[in-house]
Amino acid sequence: MAPKSMFKKPLLLLVILLAGLVLASCRAGTGTIPRGWSGGIIDNGILYIGSMAGELVAANITDGSRLWAVPLETPPASGGGFSCAPPATAVAIYSSPAIAGDLVYVGGYNGKIYAFASGKDKWQWEYPRRAVLDPIVGGLVVTEDSVYFGSSNGKVYALEADGLFEKWDNPFETGGKIWSTPAISEDTLYIGSFDKKLYALNTTDGRQKWQFATEGAIVATPVVDNSTVYIGSFDRYLYALDANDGHLKWKSLAENWFWAKPIIHNDTIYAANLDGKVYILDAETGTKLVEPFDLGSPLSSSPVLVGNSIIVATGEGAVYALDTGSNRQRLLVNLEEKVFAPLIANQGKVYLHTTRDSLYEIDAQSGAVREINIKE
């Protein structure tokens, strides 16, 4: 080494250090920009979905064309002008749209709920009108006259379906963020929170009926069947609780967090886990009926039931059909794109939204794939 270059050592060291940190920042920071992974809903041959461009998109599933798209909002670019990641210019949408009457509802990571006329891209209302809540990650549940959702501010909200009034005197407050989608059965709303508890609330006034504490945060959506609530937690347990009083019926251990919503079919529960396995349990006792299906990569996308098959997409984009009769798995197709969004089922087809913002229609029998255009 030439001595002259040695005397540039402090500069060299600092440049190396800074370069290392900047590169590390880029690497570590890739996950910090919310991009969204909305599922969708189908009504009258039209699929409504939240795109990764921050739009509510309506697509014709018959011919695969995009009908219209409306951006939720376009906030000013952030990132300080010097950032590894691109500035956020679109609202991330994790919440799957919901439909009631002629309105389509969708929640944004910007902390707002929007309602659009379902037939056209016409804005109807947004909540809250002026302020914003904390990010909305979980989905909305819509009944004839009400919209229910949770926010990252830890509160559960109930709105009149026209969005003009809040249904409850006050939102119900939990002790942590809410990313879970509520489940409603009769007059009870069930929702999980980052405070590790599952809450049962009266849908009429928002008062708590009971709560059940797990050991981990709850992000998954509960499922209610036959007076039992099933909920997975970050403590790696799937719980079965008495829907009336919240008493524990049984719990079953997995190897990672439960993120996806389980499916119940023929008194059997199919629970996908981030350990890459689908657990197949007796819904009444929690007994493992067969060895879990190991699909090889994390399962955050909620599966769907099509006929007698459970359709599951892995995080790496492999789509499997699990035959509920024979308990055998079959690879339908490997899209080789990341999939986090919940699947959508409609008339023997499955719709799947990937992290490349592509929407695919997959035949649940043959595995034939067709792309639905949701991009500009």
Partner 1 sequence: MAIGQIWDLIILDPMINVLIMLSSYLLDNFGLTIIVLTIVVNLLMYPLTQKQLQASKAMQTVQAQVAEIRKKYAKDKQKAAQEQMRLFKESGVSPAGCLLPMLIQMPVWIALYQSIIRVLAVVPEDFLNLSQRLYTSWAAVFPLVPLERSFLWLDLALPDLLLALLVGASMWVQQKMMTPTTTDPKQQAQSQMMLYMMPLMFAFFSLSFPSGLALYWVTSTGIRIAMQYFATGWGGLTLSATGRKVTQEKKIKGPTARQKAPLAEADISADIVVPSSAEEEGLNYGKSGDKRQDRGGSDSTRRRTTRRKPGGTRGYRRKGR
Helix ranges (H only) for the chain are 3-6, 9-29
**Minimum Å distance from CB 283 to partner 1?**
24
C-beta of residue 287 within 8 angstroms of C-beta of residue 281: yes
Instruction: Single out the residue of 183, 271, 284, 143 nearest to residue 226, CA to CA.
Output: 284
| Nearest CB to partner 1, comparing residues 246 and 315 | 315
| Nearest CB to partner 1, comparing residues 116 and 340 | 340
| Nearest CB to partner 1, comparing residues 20 and 75 | 20
**Minimum Å distance from CB 119 to partner 1?**
31
| Nearest CB to partner 1, comparing residues 73 and 255 | 255
β-strand pairing of 349-353 with 359-363: antiparallel
| Nearest CB to partner 1, comparing residues 177 and 261 | 177
Helix (H, G, I), strand (E, B) or coil at 26: helix
Q: Which residues are within 8 A (CB) of 162 and not within 5 positions of it... i.e. 6 or more apart?
A: 125
| Nearest CB to partner 1, comparing residues 243 and 299 | 299
| Nearest CB to partner 1, comparing residues 6 and 131 | 6
- How long a stretch of residues is the chain? 376
CA atoms within 13 A on the CB side of 255: 12
**Minimum Å distance from CB 215 to partner 1?**
4
**Minimum Å distance from CB 186 to partner 1?**
30
* Bond preceding residue 3 cis, omega within 30 of 0: no
**Minimum Å distance from CB 33 to partner 1?**
7
**Minimum Å distance from CB 253 to partner 1?**
9
Instruction: Single out the residue of 372, 376, 373 nearest to residue 361, CA to CA.
Output: 372
Q: How many CB atoms lie within 10 A of CB 44?
A: 7
Q: Which residues are within 8 A (CB) of 107 and not within 5 positions of it... i.e. 6 or more apart?
A: 93, 94, 95, 113, 114, 136, 137, 138, 139, 140, 149
| Nearest CB to partner 1, comparing residues 188 and 214 | 214
Q: Please report the DSSP string for 274-295 in residue order.
A: TTSEEEEEETTT--B-SPPEE-
**Minimum Å distance from CB 77 to partner 1?**
14
| Interface residues toward partner 1, by CB under 8 A | 1-4, 6-14, 16-18, 20-21, 24-25, 27-29, 31-35, 37, 79-80, 82-83, 92, 94, 109, 137, 177, 179, 194, 196, 215-217, 219, 233-236, 255-257, 259, 274-275, 298, 300, 315, 340
CA atoms within 13 A on the CB side of 339: 31
**Minimum Å distance from CB 338 to partner 1?**
9
Instruction: Look up tokens 């039931």; give the residue.
Output: 305
C-beta of residue 243 within 8 angstroms of C-beta of residue 229: yes
Q: How many CB atoms lie within 10 A of CB 357?
A: 18
**Minimum Å distance from CB 182 to partner 1?**
17
| Nearest CB to partner 1, comparing residues 14 and 117 | 14
For residue 300, give Cα distances in angstroms to 36, 132, 221, 277.
Answer: 13, 28, 11, 11
| Nearest CB to partner 1, comparing residues 7 and 165 | 7
**Minimum Å distance from CB 137 to partner 1?**
6
